[in-house]
Amino acid sequence: MSRYSMNEFVKQTQQQDKGEGLFELETPRMLEINLNGQIWAKAGAMISYRGNIKYEREGIFEHGLGKLFKKAFTGEGTSLMKATGNGKLYVADQGKKISILHLQGESIFVNGNDLLAFEPSIEWDIKLMRKIAGMMSGGLFNVRLEGNGMIAITSHYEPLTLLVTPNHPVYTDPNATVAWSGSLTPEFVTDISFKTFIGRGSGESIQMKFSGEGFVVVQPYEEVYFSDQQ
């Protein structure tokens, strides 16, 4: 049948220029970066490129001693790579769905494992959730991003954004929490009855409580973190 021909396959799946700027969703799970300068991306996320692009792993003192110490302490797995040059760079992360955000002076916290790429104009810092470290496998950390520029985050399947208001706090499973607005500071609560009800391991009794004014992004998937992740 002609609809299964090789030409038809190429036609249906070939790359297309959409003219959307620096970050462009080539597919819901693949990000095209129209590079003309520099970008930061999750190490190992590059799947293809064309043009003259140079890659460097994040230098040990690239972002200052403070962040180096925090990275060593968290044992986190989101090492960064710096891509410099001109061309098209394609990045993805285990087939996770990609969302593009254009920060315009705002700030957002992103689970460290869900940060895919961001512009150098974005200021960032690692925040370890100390109260939960040790309570979950490998602990949990996030990255605070702020400023003006593009960032790309990932989620398993479609993300859902829940609004937080002073009268309506939101509780989430840490393993299913992708991001939250910079105005919020989560606190960690344990619920023994909840743990007993669902009959799972001790980590399931830990919940994140968001109070105030803002939003929380969750995914329909519980991501497991490992302390030996590199």
DSSP 86-108: EEEEEE-STT-EEEEEEEEEEEE
The per-residue pLDDT for 58 is 67
Q: How far apart are alpha carbons 190 and 202 in whole angstroms?
A: 10
Phi-psi region of 60 (alpha: psi -120 to 50; beta: other; left: phi over 0): alpha
Q: What are phi and psi of 74, to 5 degrees?
A: -75, -25
Q: Break the chain into its structural domains and give their ranges.
A: 17-218
The per-residue pLDDT for 189 is 85
The CATH homologous superfamily for domain 17-218 is Mitochondrial biogenesis AIM24 (3.60.160.10)
What are the per-10-residue average pLDDT scores of the chain (230 residues)?
84 83 95 96 94 83 52 54 95 96 96 93 82 53 92 97 96 93 90 58 72 97 59
Report the 10 Å Cβ neighbour count for 147.
17
The per-residue pLDDT for 16 is 83
Q: How far apart are alpha carbons 209 and 230 in whole angstroms?
A: 29
**Closest of 45, 209, 27, 4 to residue 100, by C-alpha:** 27
**Closest of 106, 99, 102 to residue 119, by C-alpha:** 102
Q: pLDDT tens digits for 185-202? A: 899 888 766 555 555 554
Q: How far apart are alpha carbons 188 and 192 in whole angstroms?
A: 13
- Count CA within 13 A, CB hemisphere, residue 108: 27
Report the 10 Å Cβ neighbour count for 126.
20
SS3 190: strand
